[in-house]
Chain A
Amino acid sequence: YDTFMTVSCHSYVDTSISLEQIENLHKRFQRLSDNEETISRKHLDSIPSLDNNPIKKQIIEAFFDKRNQHQDEVGSCEEIGFEQFLMVMSHFRPPSLKTTEEEKEAMRKEKLRFLFNMHDTGNDGTITLVEYRKVVEELLSKSGDIGQEAAKAIADAAMLEVASTNVPHMDPDDFYEGITFEHFEQILKGLEMETRMYIRFLDVETPTLRCGKSTS
């Protein structure tokens, strides 16, 4: 356990997640995986409180998406180990007082990239209209029929807005292929991702967790 932890910490020394947080997450990981080395989709599927979430599938998929591992690979895995789990979690760390402006900028890009990957299920670097429609449909999936009918209109309007803001003058001939990452950044720059997309790791609590150090 100790060597494992040092290895993990070493790789994540720059992700500003503290040792205690890594320990807590490790415990959670073990609980999810029934004490095995890796988890697969069905382990995450079985979390009961996730059932109410309309975008449950996308969230689970994000864990197995190779693009979120920052290693320039594409595709998806079947199983992930704790390192990959931690890598995905590190997208949700908050900025601190010491974070400089460039670091904040990099953090924002990273978080936006995560969101972008969640939408871009086709792995082609753009979010097409079909993919965006799927996003809105999933968001409204728990809302019954009303949701499904309006989803398309909303997605279309949203796409139109992206196109209008980013490419103001298009000839009638042109076709807007899809939202690229730059356009995505542009339309969401008002949301200040680096301060909104975070989880407080500090008080992770599950029934088996103990505060402070514990031998596992």
Chain B
Amino acid sequence: KSALLRCAPRWSSFLPLTGLMCVLLLVFVSVASASRDVVSENNETWRGPAGETRGDSHNQTNSTAHKKAFPVLSFNYEHVRKPFEISLWILLALLMKLGFHIIPGVQNIVPESCLLIGVGLLVGGIIKAIGEEAPVLDTKLFFLYLLPPIILDAGYFLPIRPFTENMGTILVFAVVGTLWNTFFIGGMIYGVCRIEGGQLASVDPLSCLLFGTIVSAVDPVAVLAVFEEIHINELLHILVFGESLLNDAVTVVLYHLFEEFTHAGTVTVVDAILGVVCFFVVSLGGILVGAIYGILGAFTSRFTSHTRVIEPLFVFLYSYMAYLSAEVFHLSGIMSLIACGVVMRPYVEANVSHKSYTTIKYFLKMWSSVSETLIFIFLGVSTVAGPHAWNWTFVIVTVVLCLVSRVLGVIGLTYIINKFRIVKLTKKDQFIVAYGGLRGAIAFSLGFLLTNSEMKNMFLTAIITVIFFTVIVQGMTIRPLVDLLAVKKKKESKRSINEEIHTQFLDHLLTGIEDICGHYGHHHWKDKLNRFNKAYVKKWLIAGERSTEPQLISFYNKMEMKQAMMLVESGSTAQLPTIVSSVSMQNIKPRGPARQRAIPSISKSREQEIRKILRANLQKTRQRLRSYSRHDLMIDPFEDNVSEVRFRRQRVEMERRMSHYLTVPANRQETPPVRKVCFESEHKVYTYDDSKSPRGWTAEPDPSPPDAVSLLNESSQRANQSSEHRAKHNDELRAKVPDEKEEQDQLKLSRCLSDPGPNKEEDLS
């Protein structure tokens, strides 16, 4: 019965949703067709067989306009047609995406990309059935609007360390691998065409090579879409993904090369050499363009401290300009975009506010998600729409050759690469790299760009088949294969401060050992680059005091910020998952007499940010608390302190949780004397001893100026209360039965808390 009950809500939400989606689908399609009908209707009405009289009456109505009633409601679709259709398409795409996530179980079997292609096919089929012309994946639309957000998202969040560590491997796969694929597929296809004869006999070698170029490039969109869901380990992910990004340069050069040759007709050695030169120009030029825009963007972000709202726009616009500028010169737009994102990121992140950082992150994710969805849907629609010329031999041979050449290429290259790698690629790794070479929409768009010939349709059909095969078959089966082969998955643990300390320590250690050996290895050069960066570049590109902040401290501050945000977001009613241990600073600090301790402070701006967060949350806390505390009446002369006490107790709880990162000085056991410490921005420490005050309370005047942050400690409870304590963590703000004994042992926190301003204090009681 309970199982049924559990299933019931799911099914009940499932049916209306699919119903909704179907309705929307129909609405969309009918509107799309209606739009065209309306247009043609409007034109026909005035010219139809009854047009004359109609026309006369229309003219008459025009001339006697003052007699015609004022149109309260009129229909003018043409006016908004284009944006309306675009929005409707995007809405449809996103609703589909939503649907897939709601329908249970589908997600685990079929990757999203396949589902979206399926939807595209469906929509395309419907549109074709109605007899309308379906929108095709226009090349300009794809390359200028749909592709850049995905690449920018990938480039901006590219994990730099694994990327640079494996750069050699990635480059070999991208350049040599793509070249191998191109020539192998092109050559073999030509051979097969020659052998087959018939329809295929007219295919010339250059066209075959061109076809080979188009179909051999691993596609970043498809790789991202599929690999995102299988959570494979970082090394394999970066290898396949890096390859898909960097092979763009090769693809661009080869494509233009072969296209030129096809028109020119003959190939000379000089042309071949120029081709090689062109490759270097395209890739290095693209990177240069991207780097220039990246530096410009970083420099601009240095001055945006007063106009925080437009900060994210600079990131997006500079990156897009980098892409477009590279495309102007036929350089590799993808590499330019990646270079821009990579160069810009560390400086921009140091300069922009936290909100802008979040905005950038979420906008990029959002745009890339929409783009990806639209690409796959359009792929499906275009498949139904496009002109096809199906040739069994050609298509089958293409698909087989793609697989074979990929496998051969990977195995051969890995054999060579492993001689130079420290962490060798195992057979499992090679299999995943080979299997993960998915083709996608780039191949399709490039195919679309081909000049019209009889070959084009045949090529296009073959390309589409390869894409479908890789995305659907390989995409669907890669997840069970990964599980079957027990490939290492991505480790989910978040970075800890210890790991960060030791990563840095290792870097310096290895650099030092290299210096002692007299060996200029890559640690040496990396160290040199870092020092150059710190000495010159950061000064120019980062505003204010952040320019001299060492990386370890940035990391530490980031972690503190994250803790604070987590506290705020989790509110007080939810469990904090991370704090499962009862270890606090008191267990670590060496015992000693109470003494003045200089507590290091974090920089002032950080302090302010954290204080703001705390204050905001404490306000929330206070509001909630007020509604609870009214029910707890204490008959006690100090009653008016109780709510304040409880309130402060909650604050202490929270700040104690904060003590994981914000250092809290050690406190002692059992009963007070309780030490309270607050410090000001001038790093002075005041230590108060509470033992002199009655009942453990102290009433102190506010000793500190409004902008002091105090880190509090509380008297630790007796041992048997420590578990209770943890329970209190969980239901911090629920009304508790007042326990007088507890109250007595409670610490009354000093007023030098993070709440400046008298009006706030008044609100307490």
Contact = CB atoms under 8 A, between A and B. Distances in A.
A136 B719 contact: no
Contacts of A55: 505, 508-509, 512
B425 to A, nearest CB: 10
Contacts of A182: none
Interface in A161-190: 161-165, 167-176, 187-188, 190
Interface residues of B, number: 68
Contact of B585 (A160, A195, A201): A160
Given A50-B512, A149-B601, A203-B519, A171 B719 contact: yes
B716 interface: yes
Given A50-B516, A146-B553, A153-B556, A171 B581 contact: no
A191 interface: yes
B758 interface: no
A5 interface: no
Interface stretch (A8-16, A64-72, A76-84, A89-97): A89-97
Contacts of A152: 600, 663
A181 B556 CA distance: 24
Interface string B479-519: 00000000000010100111101111110111111111111
Interface string B720-738: 0010000000000000000
B531 interface: yes
Given A49-B515, A97-B418, A154-B553, A159 B588 contact: yes
Given A168-B581, A170-B583, A203-B519, A161 B510 contact: no
A122 to B, nearest CB: 14
A177 to B, nearest CB: 10
Given A50-B515, A156-B663, A199 B588 contact: no
A153 B663 contact: yes
Chain A contact surface mostly: helix
A149 B663 CA distance: 12
Interface stretch (B18-26, B197-205, B544-552): B544-552
A94 B496 contact: no
Contacts of B74: none
Contact of B498 (A47, A162, A170, A200): A162
B422 interface: yes
B744 interface: no
B506 to A, nearest CB: 6
B586 interface: yes
Contacts of B519: 199-201, 203-205
Contacts of B548: 143-144, 146
A60 to B, nearest CB: 8
A28 B520 CA distance: 13
B498 A188 contact: yes
B12 interface: no
A53 B550 contact: no
Nearest to A147: B550
B5 interface: no
Nearest to B550: A143
Given A31-B518, A149-B600, A139 B722 contact: no
Interface core residue of A49, A92, A97, A165 (most chain B CB under 10 Å): A49
Given A44-B516, A170-B587, A195 B422 contact: yes
Nearest to A130: B590
B553 A199 contact: no
B560 to A, nearest CB: 8
Contacts of A195: 422-423
A74 interface: no
A131 B204 CA distance: 73
Interface core residue of A31, A161, A191 (most chain B CB under 10 Å): A161
B503 A191 contact: yes
Contacts of A19: none
Nearest to A85: B516
Interface string A117-152: 010000000000100000110011001101101111
A188 B552 contact: no
Contacts of B550: 140, 143, 146-147
Interface in B371-423: 418, 422-423
Contact of B521 (A32, A95, A174, A200): A200
Interface string B585-629: 111111100000000111100000000000000000000000000
Given A169-B581, A197-B506, A129 B588 contact: yes
A103 B549 CA distance: 40
A126 B553 CA distance: 25
Given A154-B497, A170-B582, A205 B520 contact: yes
B498 A187 contact: yes
Given A89-B517, A146-B553, A172-B722, A59 B512 contact: yes
B143 interface: no
Contacts of B422: 94-95, 195, 198, 200
B602 A176 contact: no
Contacts of B584: 160, 172
A210 interface: no
A149 B717 CA distance: 31
Contact of A168 (B498, B509, B511, B583): B583
Given A129-B588, A136-B552, A161-B498, 13 more contacts: A47-B516, A59-B513, A92-B510, A115-B505, A140-B553, A151-B600, A154-B552, A163-B581, A170-B582, A188-B502, A195-B423, A200-B521, A209-B518
Lowest 6 A-B CB distances belong to which pairs? A168-B581, A206-B518, A164-B581, A143-B550, A59-B512, A49-B515
Interface of B: 418, 422-424, 491, 493, 496-499, 501-506, 508-521, 523-524, 527, 531, 545, 548-550, 552-553, 556, 559, 580-591, 600-603, 660-663, 669, 683, 716-717, 719, 722
Interface of A: 25, 28, 31-32, 44, 47, 49-50, 52-56, 59, 63, 89, 92, 94-95, 97, 115, 118, 129, 135-136, 139-140, 143-144, 146-147, 149-154, 156-165, 167-176, 187-188, 190-191, 195-201, 203-206, 209
25 contacts: A28-B517, A55-B505, A89-B517, A95-B422, A118-B509, A135-B505, A139-B504, A143-B548, A143-B549, A149-B683, A150-B600, A154-B497, A157-B559, A160-B660, A161-B660, A163-B587, A167-B581, A168-B580, A175-B587, A188-B498, A190-B491, A195-B423, A198-B510, A201-B517, A206-B518
